[in-house]
Structure 1
Amino acid sequence: MNEQKHTSLVNEMTLDEKIAQLTQLATPFFKGASDGGQITGPMAEMGISDETIGNAGSVLGASGAEEVKSIQRKHLKENRLGIPLLVMSDIVHGYKTIFPVPIAIGCSWDLELAEKSAEIAAREASASGVHVTFAPMVDLVRDPRWGRVMESTGEDPYLNSEFARAFVRGFQGDDLTNETDRVAACVKHFAAYGAAEGGRDYNTVDMSERELRESYLPAYKAALDEGCEMVMTAFNTVFGIPATGNKKLMRSILREEMGFDGVLISDWGAVKEMIPHGVAEDEKEAALKALTAGVDIEMMTAAYVKYLKILVEEGQVEEALIDEAVLRILTLKEKLGLFENPYRGADEELEKEVVLSTAHREAARELASKSAVLLKNEGVLPLRKEQNIALIGPFAESGDILGPWSWLGSKKDAVTVREGFSQKINEAQLTVAGGSDIERISEEQIQDALHAAKDADVIVLALGEDSEMSGEAGCRADIRLPEAQLELIQRMKELGKPIVSVLFNGRPLDLHGVWDETDAVLEAWYPGTEGGAAVADLIYGDVNPSGRLAMSFPYSAGQIPVYYNHYNTGRPKGAPDAQERYVSQYLDIPNSPLFPFGYGLSYTEFTYSGMELSSEKMTCDRQLNLTVTVTNSGTAAGEEVVQLYVRDVSGEVVRPLKELKAFEKISLEPGESKEVGFSLTEEQLRYHHSDLTFTSDRGTFIAYIGGNSKDVMEASFILEK
């Protein structure tokens, strides 16, 4: 069906049918659903008619080939023009085979594995009848109190952009029409959702347009450049206006500047939420503002259904605006091949074959092992397989390692840490105790733990956050481990045995009471279905840790936001002429994070030498080549992430102290050296000036190369213009 046929179809539709196409309803509304379309509670209060349901454009949350086919079949019988439904769901880091949460995937610095994880998620979801996933989330985040940190890939615009591209490629493939094992991607949340004040979900975002463009928009743009088919609006304000009703953000920046011509969908209930935001008096005004801003689909509120027809009849809305939105929706359905095959991808037999398959589990295990970050190791790791181990803590036998937004993932399918250890050593060498709950501890639990540890050579503590403590609405002001677990550490320390802490969580934590009290710390994040197996691989050295932090770990929550690419001040701490007191500093804690962006340890050592620049000068027409030699100076094979940063010493506006510009992940055998090369172009030195022009400045720059954002070699060069 081409655009002319789409237009003809729109012309056949009544206004009510068009408006229904702009409405997304949850699975229970549809008669073909497993519960037969029985609506109760808040959904019943929406006042959605059977006619609207029969003409709705998309369904939210349906899954399983059999159910999706049933919903589509009954829908097509009732839909006058035979327009199929779009089936959309949150497939964020896996469908049934759950991969590590995105913040962990970001720590892998492995774009190929990230793409593969999205490809596998798409394959499973498509076989189960899903057409669109609400991913990737590319919101840049600098505040670990925010619960949705786990859904982001971190604090850096460049790294986020690269992962955004990888996820879109994985989800969508090259051709959605022909590749029925892929799904359309929906990048979210446009825009700047990760900058919510106080790290509190749904809260106000207030920043300059220059900062928005400089730090927050690049990852969305990268996803769109990769062909991402959909965009979801953010809950927050931008320029003082909720994103869902923000005409400048959606029409001017997203559609006109970025050239996005795909489908724009609100987040759940975001259209109606303009009322409590205070920019719409009622649902009628909310509908007017959302459509005017360019929102094509209203998710799970009924402002469009109730009031768009009235607004057209009153002359406040041109029907042509509605036609444009419907055309975009029909075009996406055509790209997905739904007019030819409304049951696209859904296949009960294929579903059984691919969902949670052995190959998919193996990929999840590999990515989980590449995503974990070794933060500390005082010679304890890797463990030796002849050692007696006491595995203690609330995550020792817990399947709650999938993390938020794992939707159809089952804790019962997860490999626990105990099961992972049992794959490595005999049961006689392993004693296990809970030690504490997530937030409670009893003397009985402590005594059980002490008994389990009495004959152990090493104590491994499996600690962290319950998955409900992270994710959407999972914001925390105190980001330390709960007191019960800190007490458990102290009681285990009294035994005088080596202690390894393995952390399961969805955000950077304040690790006081952990890193300073235990001999080794492995940040496993929420590692997914194969998490316990991956942790055991790392702990026993069958896999050498290679993860590097995609987000800084604060020394204290009082530093937040703390991030590597910050600006200098007129009185920076540590400057040669700085006075002892009158500089930008805390009196009671360091300025620097506990662990910086890009940081991570290995079971071997890497040394850097011989950093060279091809020239001391570069021009707009001549790139600069940089090389450095990296040597594995340890005794084990390992992977290193070689990172290139740049500082613009003097700009028209202040510039970050460092900005990541490139990276390369390399593998080296013991004693092996490799020369790693990077190229810098003038385009990579551009930034947004005070007038929002995007250009570079002549003058001095410093290039830094190293294994993290702090420990680097440096050399300066000049850009001539």
Structure 2
Amino acid sequence: MTTERPWLDTSLPVADRVELLLAEMTVEEKAGLFFQTMIALGPDGELSDGDAAFGLPSTAEYVNERHMTHFNLLGAAPTAGTIARWHNRLQELAASTRLGIPVTISTDPRHSFTDNPGAAMLAGPFSQWPDALGLAATRDEELVRRFGDIARREYLSVGIRVALHPQVDLATEPRWARQLQTFGEDAELSARMGAAYIRGFQGDELGAESVAAMVKHFPGGGPQQDGEDPHFAYGREQVYPGDAFELHLEPFAAAFEAGVSQVMPYYGMPVGTEYEEVGFGFNRSVLTGLLRERFGFDGIVCTDWGLVTDSEILGTTFPARAWGVEHLTPAERMAKILDAGADQFGGEKCTEILLQLVAEGVVTEERLDVSARRLLREKFVLGLFDAPYVDADAADDIAGSAEFRAAGDAAQRASITVLQSSSALPFERGAKLYVEGVDPEVAARYGQVVATPDEADLAVLRLQAPYEERGSAFENFFHAGSLDFAADVIAHVAEVAAAVPTVVDVYLDRPAILGPIVETGAAVLGNWGASAAALLDVLSGTARAEGRLPFDIPRSMAAVAASRPDVPFDTEDPLFRFGHGVAL
């Protein structure tokens, strides 16, 4: 085997193995390395014939015709074993190609409670943990590192080798839709937590037992104009009225120190800075000047999804996120991305455009080789050429094991943050409970569930932080707009609270305006992903409340609108400050 494919000789240095393989590759095979996009599982872990909802072709077309070997796994699966068996079938297909280059599977976060398919996946067969904001609320670097280590082992069991996370953007604009997966508003805390996260996934150095981490969104995606998200054209601008561009780099510097393997630049385009006013994925002054030259980063740079071509998502066509270069053709956009210093086109499968650029002499084969070396090097370092398959029979025992689930449950409890308390807490087991947003069967393990507030000793209401409805289903996964609760929600909480002491727990994927809730609730808590059982453990005194706010809670929308999007802790007279948390 090593005679026919000498790059499989494990006694050789990785750099030599890369050069041996690169010398055998055609332009078409090199081009396939540059594309990473979504891939779907077929029924029962078979290879997919495609996914019309997301415009995905068959797996055979990806591998055999487009020579692609990097994929982002879309959607959940009923069991870890299903994913593992699918992964092995995919590796078998890759091994049957001319050079047998193994596939690298990546994923968005899969261990939390969020259901936004543009940012993360439901936990499914994996252990379930708070989102990154909740991890930040614990202030516990060792817990974060342990999370990364457990997630690493679960990913490895099914063949996932790249984590499209952590997200170390600073949540300095309270309205921004993507802050749930950040570590909050404080640069120093985000730097510590992000580094611990990376070390959990990668270990002290990248190797065969690692999951490579892709830190995002360089150089910091938080300072969005009006908090709008650049997945959409109305959110394309990042602004820095407080001249705080450098502050947003601090968590990335810590990620580089931790040895992070990959970087994803954001969609947004900087306005009013020294950098070119184009999206960061097209931005040579950022990717080459700042990332490659100033920070000395020589790992893989993969763009965010869909910078080159338009995409069809859940029945709606979205334009390419080619902010600042909308006038360029797809081929011109691709050439600009490569010139900027990126190695991979996220969310794209248009290999024919890259081949056209090479044929026309716009992109040289030598330029292809620069990125191909990085992409192949990581496959070798991760051991994919040497051991591409996983033990599918063991996957269900590893992923979601009792030990891992218990660790996730403990983290959920530790992250819950009590903002306001009263003598109603902790409540005694067996109390009469009126609940909304809590599974009555779970609540019945803690007390007697009653039908109305008038019958209860305590009411427990769980709310979602408010957001504005937008035009399409995909847009509404990105919670944006006003942070004020609707009048009917405030009135309902007040009505319940008038009848019985009321605990209000809010899923703070954004820092909601909590003043009206605080005025009427006997106790108010915040969470970033916690089960009903975790919440009731805290409320009943079974577990201690240890969480502290990872951001300020603003007092009003007027204060939010007046704040500078790039500056942390900039809303006037916040209701609760960063670090606030009441002992219970």
Q: TM-score range by the shorter chain?
A: 0.7 to 0.9
Alignment match of 1:91 (pick from 109, 114, 123): 109
| 2:343 equivalent in structure 1 | 296
Superposed displacement of residue 52, structure 1 = 6.1
Q: Percent identity?
A: 26
Match of 1:560 in 2: 560
Alignment length (residue pairs): 528
Q: Do the aligned residues in 2 keep the contact of 1:390 with 1:456 (CA within 8 Å)?
A: yes
Q: For residue 411 of structure 2, what is the aligned residue in structure 1? A: 367
CA distance in 2, matches of 1:232, 1:465: 28
CA contact (8 A) 2:127 2:408 kept: yes
Change (3 A) 1:19 1:209: farther
Q: For structure 2, which runs of at least 5 residues remain unmatched after alignment?
A: 1-12, 78-82, 113-122, 310-319
Pick aligned residue for 1:333 from 369, 374, 379: 379
Partners of 2:550 and 2:569 in 1: CA distance? 21
Q: Deviations over 1:608-648 (max 9, x none)?
A: xxxxxxxxxxxxxxxxxxxxxxxxxxxxxxxxxxxxxxxxx
Report how far residue 124 of structure 1 moved. Answer: 1.2
2:137 aligned to 83, 99, 107, which one?
A: 107
The structure 2 residue matched to 1:223, chosen from 238, 255, 258, is 255
Name the amino acid aligned to 2:412: A
Q: Which residue of 2 aligns with 1:76?
A: 95
Q: Work out whether residues 144 and 199 of structure 1, in 8 Å CA contact, stay in contact via their aligned partners in 2.
A: yes
Deviation at 1:525, TM superposition (A): 2.8
| Change in 2 beyond 3 A, CA 1:151/1:468 | farther
Q: Deviations over 1:325-354 (max 9, x none)?
A: 0000011101110110112xx222221112
Q: The residue matched to 1:389 in structure 2 has which SS?
A: strand
| TM-aligned CA deviation for residue 475 of structure 1 | 3.0
Q: Which residue of 2 aligns with 1:458?
A: 458
Tell me the CA shift for residue 209 of structure 1. 11
- After superposition, residues 274-285 of structure 1 pair within 5 angstroms as 275=322, 277-278=324-325, 280-285=327-332
Secondary structure of the structure 1 residue equivalent to 2:178: helix
Deviations 1:443-468 (A, max 9, x none): xxxxxxxxx22232222222224999
Work out whether 1:601 is the aligned partner of 2:582.
Answer: yes
Whole-Å separation in 2 of the counterparts to 1:568 and 1:116: 29
Q: Secondary structure at the match of 2:518?
A: coil
Q: Does 1:206 align with 2:248?
A: no
Q: Which one has more relative contact order, counting CA pairs under 8 Å at least 6 apart? A: 2
Aligned to 1:56: 68
Match of 1:658 in 2: none
Change in CA separation of 1:302 and 1:285 when aligned onto 2, cut-off 3 Å: farther
Question: CA deviation digits over 1:525-579, x for unaligned, max 9?
Answer: 322xxx222111210112221211110001012212659996999xxxxxxxxxx
Structure 1 residues 300-339: Cα deviation after superposition (integer angstroms, max 9, x where no partner): 2245x23333333433323222101000001110111011
TM-score (norm 2): 0.83
Q: Aligned runs of 1:207-606 on 2, under 5 Å?
A: 207=240, 211-213=244-246, 215-238=247-270, 239=275, 240-272=277-309, 273=320, 275=322, 277-278=324-325, 280-303=327-350, 305-343=351-389, 346-391=390-435, 393=436, 395-397=437-439, 418-425=440-447, 429-431=448-450, 433=451, 452-465=452-465, 473-495=477-499, 497-527=500-530, 531-560=531-560, 591-603=572-584
Is 1:133 matched with 2:166? Answer: no
557 and 264 in structure 1: CA distance in 2 versus 1, 3 angstrom threshold: same
Does the C-alpha gap of structure 1 residues 336 and 471 become closer, same or farther in structure 2, counting only changes over 3 Å? farther
Residue of structure 2 in register with 1:185 after alignment:
213
Q: 2:21 and 2:43 mapped to 1: Cα distance?
A: 25
Q: Determine if contact 1:92/1:135 at 8 Å carries over to the other structure.
A: no
Query: Aligned partners of 1:538, 1:230: CA distance in 2, in Å?
Result: 38
**Hey, what's the Cα distance between the residues in 1 that align with 2:569 and 2:166?**
32
Please name the residue that 1:17 is paired with: 29
Amino acid at match of 2:393: E
Displacement of 1:149: 1.3
Q: 1:472 to 1:105 in 2, by over 3 A?
A: farther
Considering only CA atoms, is the larger Rg found in Structure 1 or Structure 2?
Answer: 1
- 8 A contact 1:480–1:512 mirrored in 2: no
CA separation of 1:93 and 1:560: change in aligned 2, threshold 3 A: farther
Report the Cα offset of residue 423 of structure 1: 3.4
Question: Contact 1:129/1:347 (CA < 8 Å) preserved in 2?
Answer: no
CA distance in 2, matches of 1:493, 1:467: 23
Aligned partners of 1:322, 1:199: CA distance in 2, in Å? 37
Contact 2:185–2:569 (Cα < 8 Å) also in 1: no
Residues 254, 351 of structure 1: alpha-carbon distance in 2 compared, 3 angstrom cutoff: same
Closer, same or farther in 2 for the Cα pair 1:52/1:23, shift >3 Å? farther
Amino acid at match of 1:206: V
Letter in 2 for 1:460: V
Change in CA separation of 1:209 and 1:258 when aligned onto 2, cut-off 3 Å: farther
Shift of 1:387: 3.0
Q: In structure 2, give the amino acid aligned to 1:540.
A: S
Structure 1 distance, partners of 2:568, 2:355, is 50
- Report the alpha carbon displacement of residue 207 of structure 1 after superposing the two structures with TM: 2.6
Q: Tell me if the contact between 2:504 and 2:523 (Cα under 8 Å) persists in the aligned partners.
A: yes
Change (3 A) 1:31 1:323: farther
Contact 1:147–1:475 (CA under 8 A) maintained in structure 2: yes
CA contact (8 A) 2:128 2:409 kept: no
8 Å contact 1:275–1:283 — kept in the other structure? Answer: no
Report the residue type matching 1:500 in the other structure: V
Cα distance per residue 1:350-396 (max 9 Å; x no partner): 211122221112111211111111100132211122532222x2x12
Structure 2 counterpart of 1:430, which letter?
V
Kindly provide the amino acid, as one letter, of the partner of residue 327 in structure 1: R
Secondary structure of the residue aligned to 2:222 is helix
Letter in 1 for 2:348: T
Query: Secondary structure of the equivalent of 2:215?
Result: strand
Indicate if the aligned counterparts of 1:151 and 1:471 stay in contact, CA closer than 8 A.
no
> Are the equivalent residues in 2 in contact too, given 1:105–1:114 (CA < 8 A)?
yes
Q: Does the CA contact (< 8 Å) of 1:150 and 1:471 recur in 2?
A: no
- Structure with greater proportional helix content: 2
Residues 171, 280 of structure 1: CA spacing in aligned structure 2 closer, same or farther, 3 A cutoff? farther
1:108–1:546 contact (8 Å) kept in structure 2: yes
**1:93 CA displacement:** 3.9
Give the Cα separation in 1 of the matches to 2:242 and 2:349.
Answer: 32
Instruction: Using the TM superposition, give the Cα deviation of residue 88 of structure 1 relative to its aligned residue in structure 2, in angstroms.
Output: 0.8
- What residue identity is the alignment partner of 2:345? E
Q: CA deviation at 1:185?
A: 0.7
Using the alignment, how far apart are the partners of 2:62 and 2:44 within structure 1?
Answer: 13
Q: Using the alignment, how far apart are the partners of 1:564 and 1:262 within structure 2? A: 30
Contact kept? 1:266, 1:295, Cα under 8 Å: yes
Partner SS state of residue 241, structure 1: coil
Shift of 1:123: 1.3
Q: Which deviates more, 274-283 or 116-125?
A: 274-283
Instruction: Supply the distance in 1 between the matched residues of 2:494 and 2:349 (Cα, whole angstroms).
Output: 54
Amino acid in the other structure paired with 1:205: Q
**5+ residue gaps in structure 1?**
398-417, 434-451, 570-589, 604-721
**Which aligned pairs between 1:38-53 and structure 2 lie closer than 5 A?**
38=50, 40=52, 43=55, 53=65
Quote the Cα distance in structure 2 between the aligned partners of 1:306 and 1:563.
Answer: 43
Which one-letter code corresponds to 2:67 in the other structure?
Answer: N
Work out the CA distance in 2 between the residues paired with 1:45 and 1:338: 24
Instruction: Indicate how the Cα distance of structure 1 residues 271 and 212 shifts in structure 2: closer, same or farther if over 3 A, else same.
Output: farther
